[in-house]
Amino acid sequence: MQPMNPDNSAEHFHRLAIPADQAGQRLDQTLARELPGISRTYLKKLFDHGDVRIAEAVVKPSMKLKGGELVEVHVPAPEPLAAVAEDIPLDILYEDDDIVVLNKRPGIVTHPSQGHQSGTLVNALLHHYADSLSGIGGVIRPGIVHRLDMDTSGCLVAAKNDPAHAGLMEQFMTREVEKIYIAITEGSPRPLSGTVEGNIGRSVRNRKLHTMMKSGGRRSLTRYETVENYGAVAVVECRLETGRTHQARVHLAHVGSPVLCDKDYGRRSVLTEGEVSRALSLYRHSEARGVFPPGGVVLDRQALHAARLSFRHPCRDERLSFEAPLPDDMVRVLAPFRQARDEMAAGK
């Protein structure tokens, strides 16, 4: 087999002589093993477009091999990305020649979409890594392999080249990646710890939102544990075993404790100083006393943070784990409750 062209802007041609010991195997499975720089998803697209051939004839992915065939795989040159590079600061937790792990700040969109053509994480990555971007998937782009919602902060990994992109994609697809989120919730879950499992799909009432479904949708699984409980608010750790859109937000709402200030799945869009004072009074005395003027806004985005991300390095045999500290706005929400907890424990 010819080595992969390191130039991500050029088309690639791979020629692979099938070994005799592969006789009886499916062609797509053999190519997936022999071409680790190409993801299974993109390999399927190449088959669909007639870019995999034997003796100049287009072949199917399910073809059974006899051994000795000469397979030609044509990977077209990636199309230029419409997004432009922008000098946007990045909070980098780790980087090497293959990957970069970021602490995404809240309020930034992961990649361009309708209504968000600029100011995204992709625009920032294009600026910082213009000469080492993954071209996998048919488009020149930073190797975005997963995403965080605009108002969710925390750990996010991106690939700098095609082999790294393919390796990370494979781990996300096979659920080898460990993802732990920290949420501040409205109220506490019922029960305080447990598992939420079921299918998630688009809501029939609002196609932009997702919901738990009795039939249809895709399987989802989250294990959660309440680590701090202040009555009106709680701190909940969520381990996402699957990666469905809005999964943690949908699951926490399902157990009666939506993410605090979640505009889509929660009961309020902002948290004010007056609401914090009232919640503190309830926590300290089991009843709210006095008048609580609204005051200023303490939080105006969903209190959800991707706190920990763990995966195998896609280009070497090493397990990596990263943690992103809780952002300042979530710390500000929790600070008075934690102070009250400590004072009550000390008998003050």
Q: Which of 28, 98, 149, 262 is catalytic?
A: 149
Does the N-terminal peptide bond of residue 191 adopt cis geometry, omega within 30 degrees of 0?
A: yes
Long-range contacts: 107-110, Cβ < 8 Å, 24+?
Answer: 107/150, 107/151, 107/301, 108/150, 109/150, 110/144, 110/147, 110/148, 110/150, 110/156
Using CA atoms, how far apart are residues 79 and 81, in angstroms rounded to an integer?
6
Residues 6+ apart with CB under 8 A from 271: 260, 261, 297, 298, 299, 300, 333
- For 124, the token pair is 């920032």
Backbone angle region of 108, left / alpha / beta, with phi > 0 → left and psi within -120 to 50 → alpha: beta
DSSP-derived letter for residue 4 is P
Alpha-carbon span 81 to 10, nearest angstrom: 14
Q: Which amino acid is residue 164, in one-letter code?
A: A
User: Coil, helix or strand for 153?
Assistant: strand
Instruction: Give yes or no: 149 in active site.
Output: yes
Nearest to 46 by CA among 78, 76, 2, 9: 76
**Euclidean distance between CA atoms 16 and 22, whole angstroms:** 12
Integer Cα distance of 341 and 348 in angstroms: 10
Burial class (CB in 10 A: 0-12, 13-18, 19+), 220: buried
Catalytically active residues are 149
